[in-house]
Amino acid sequence: MSAPVVTIVRKYEPHPRQLAVHLAPESFVWNAAGYAVGKTTALVFEALQLAATTHPGYEGIVAAPTFPLLFQSWVTEWQRWVPADWYRMSSHPLFGPHIDLHVDQGVSRIWLRSTVDAKSVEGINAAWLVYDEASRETRQDPINVLLARVRRGYPGRQRRHVFAGPPQTRTHWTAQMFGAGVDSTHAGDELTWSDGRRRVVRSRTRDNPHLPVGYERDLRERPGATKAWCKQWLDAEFGAVDGQVYEGFSRDVHVVPAASLVDRAWRMVVAGVDWGWSNYGAFVVVALDGRGDLYVIGEEVHRQKGVDDTPSGWVPVMRTASKRHRVQRAFCDPSNPGAIALVARLLRASGVLVYAADNDVAEGLRRVQARVEWANERKAQRSLGAAPNAARGAIYVSDACPHLIGEFEGYVRRRDRDGAFTEQVEKKNDHALDALRYAVMELSS
């Protein structure tokens, strides 16, 4: 008599960031995850749920940029968690490797694919897609081929697409597809955001409560663990742009919810103004609080607006924004004295005094940079349990100012002929930052 077959089932207890992936209601989900947060484990259970419960008897796709990556990460994790008698792994002579999962309706087939050869998914009609190590795939075209194959599943049920991988730069297809944070089209907070169809769940190394004590600290202290590397691979922040002026700017530190700034009492509220026509013009509102910190509480960014009091001009925009935020003074790009004189006359009745701004670029950059760094220093002091140094004023930006936040993250220095970065900044995508600099020069004097 043969011995009975014993199936050992391990209990999966997802930590909060894994659970946020599983509970996301959107049909597209990206787990933008740092090291050791269990992203691949979460993908195994996403695939298991989709194959066994959501779309039993249908086909699904699990993919990665290469087959070695797929088998070293997802397949290994699948074999670690899923009992061997629940499935059969084999390879079709024409269509390649797959997993047949035994379900009540018969078999759910999971095709294992690599985007090295996007054509390998032709002929598959899948109900769902799981893609591991998404950030290592630099091309979006093979991803689009995969997405096109997700088109037939259990009637009336969501066809789900789940991606995982550390964030890269904001120009990577993952950031372009899912968004790089809260802005005018994405609602949420610093750890998760959505446009209603696509959701990002950020998972930092420190978010995994099951890691050994000192694991993250050891990674941060190892040779070669630069500040930029730690931000991207441990803090799950988007990679810095080469030559970034405000390298210390971080959404986790410097961006605050707009709701937290409502009805606050300010010592002074001013605006910086940078004119524009073919390029964007910007009206940026900055408030000074009682301890010397600056908060950017509003922005107006528009193209092709004349400096006039017509319905399509800048003056009505400035008047409305000044009333809303109780602006007392405005400091304008000094390159257009005529515009400054006109706006000063038209806004006088609204109680706004208008001046030419101090356009010392180098000094303005230093003052903004100092406040960015002081905000970082203050957060570090709090994390150590020390009283923050209130003698140095920091700067924070409302999440209602997505244009300025984007400029902070993309503002870069010029290169010389040898390719080295200079102290000069690139004059592009900087109009909101120029307006901010005008305001900071006055409030920091």
Report yes or no on 151 lying in a domain: yes
Q: How far apart are CA 374 and CA 359, in angstroms?
A: 23
Report yes or no on 216 lying in a domain: no
Domain CATH number, residue 163: 3.40.50.300
Tell whether 161 and 290 lie within a shared domain.
no
- Give the three-state DSSP class for 105: coil
Structure-token pair, residue 437: 């600099």
268-274 and 329-332 as β-strands: parallel, antiparallel, unpaired?
A: parallel
Among the three residues 158, 182, 207, which one is the final residue of a domain in this structure? Answer: 207
Report yes or no on 131 lying in a domain: yes
Determine the pLDDT at residue 224: 64
For 195-245, the pLDDT digits (tens) are 999 999 999 999 999 999 999 999 988 866 767 778 888 999 886 556 778
Phi-psi region of 223 (alpha: psi -120 to 50; beta: other; left: phi over 0): beta
Report yes or no on 230 lying in a domain: no
Instruction: Name the percent of the chain lying above pLDDT 90.
Output: 65
Those residues with Cβ within 8 angstroms of residue 323's Cβ, 6 or more apart along the chain or in another chain: 350
Determine the pLDDT at residue 351: 96
Q: How far apart are CA 175 and CA 202, in angstroms?
A: 12
In the predicted model, is pLDDT for residue 120 greater than 80? no
Q: How far apart are CA 198 and CA 174, in angstroms?
A: 11
Determine the pLDDT at residue 247: 81
For 288-305, the pLDDT digits (tens) are 999 899 999 999 999 999
In the predicted model, is pLDDT for residue 38 greater than 70? yes
Tell whether 202 and 306 lie within a shared domain.
no
Q: How far apart are CA 421 and CA 26, in angstroms?
A: 42
For 315-364, the pLDDT digits (tens) are 999 999 999 999 999 999 999 999 999 999 999 999 999 999 999 988 89
Q: What are the Cα distances from residue 111, in Å, to 80, 123, 240, 273?
A: 19, 11, 35, 56
Measured between alpha carbons, how far apart are the two ends of the chain, in Å? Answer: 90
Average pLDDT value for residue range 50-75: 94
Tell whether 151 and 267 lie within a shared domain.
no
Count of structural domains, the chain: 2
In the predicted model, is pLDDT for residue 35 greater than 60? yes
In the predicted model, is pLDDT for residue 250 greater than 90? no
Domain CATH number, residue 430: 3.30.420.280
Tell whether 120 and 181 lie within a shared domain.
yes
Q: Comparing 1-5, 94-98, 143-147, 354-358, which segment has the lowest mean pLDDT?
A: 1-5
Tell whether 375 and 320 lie within a shared domain.
yes
Largest CA distance in the chain: 101
Average pLDDT value for residue range 109-136: 88
Determine the pLDDT at residue 1: 43
Those residues with Cβ within 8 angstroms of residue 232's Cβ, 6 or more apart along the chain or in another chain: 34, 166, 167, 168, 238, 239, 240
Report yes or no on 215 lying in a domain: no
pTM above 0.75, yes or no: no
Tell whether 122 and 179 lie within a shared domain.
yes
Among the three residues 184, 207, 230, which one is the final residue of a domain in this structure? Answer: 207
Tell whether 153 and 48 lie within a shared domain.
yes
Among the three residues 166, 188, 207, which one is the final residue of a domain in this structure? Answer: 207
Q: How far apart are CA 394 and CA 75, in angstroms?
A: 47
Tell whether 405 and 324 lie within a shared domain.
yes
Average pLDDT value for residue range 34-57: 96
Tell whether 411 and 302 lie within a shared domain.
yes
Determine the pLDDT at residue 50: 97
Determine the pLDDT at residue 415: 72
Tell whether 200 and 256 lie within a shared domain.
no
For 392-401, the pLDDT digits (tens) are 799 999 999 9
Tell whether 359 and 425 lie within a shared domain.
yes
Q: How far apart are CA 440 and CA 434, in angstroms?
A: 10
Determine the pLDDT at residue 388: 65
Q: How far apart are CA 411 and CA 211, in angstroms?
A: 36
**Which residue range is the domain that position 54 belongs to?**
16-207
Tell whether 348 and 440 lie within a shared domain.
yes
Report yes or no on 234 lying in a domain: no
